């Protein structure tokens, strides 16, 4: 069974290693479906205005990871501009 990874764990990593943003992907291969992954993603961002943006980045990373391991074409399901100007507003 998968467990949710709490945001506090991502915050602890950010504090310990000096990062402003952290993405954690926890994936486990399915026992009944080959090349199928179950998982959880957790994000932490010190700038609350950019949390939604980091969530989109995490979605893209998770999708591409799953696609890579299931031999599907790598693609971004969401097209976003990855710049420092991006925010939730």
Give the integer Cα–Cα distance in Å for 13 and 4. Answer: 16
Mean confidence (pLDDT) of the chain: 76
Please give the residue that has the higher pLDDT: either 36 or 59. Answer: 59
* CA 66 – CA 50 distance, rounded (Å): 25
Average pLDDT rounded to a whole number, residues 51-75: 75
From 12-16, 66-70, 77-81, the region with the lowest mean pLDDT = 77-81
Q: How far, in Å, CA of 62 to CA of 74, rounded? A: 11
**Which is more confident, 54 or 63?**
54
pLDDT of 73: 53
Q: State the average pLDDT over residues 5-28.
A: 92
pLDDT value at residue 61: 84
Domain definitions of the chain by residue range:
7-69
Other C-beta atoms closer than 10 Å to the C-beta of 64 total: 15
Tokens 């949390």 correspond to what residue? 51
Distance (Å, whole) CA 69 – CA 51: 27
């Amino acid at each position: 069974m998968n467990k949710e990874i709490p945001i506090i764990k991502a915050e602890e990593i950010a504090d310990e290693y000096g990062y402003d943003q952290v993405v954690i992907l926890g994936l486990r291969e399915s026992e009944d479906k080959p090349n199928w992954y179950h998982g959880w993603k957790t994000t932490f961002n010190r700038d609350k205005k950019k949390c939604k943006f980091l969530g989109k980045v995490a979605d893209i990373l998770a999708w591409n990871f799953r696609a890579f391991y299931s031999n599907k074409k790598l693609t971004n399901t969401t097209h976003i501009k990855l710049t420092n100007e991006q925010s939730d507003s």
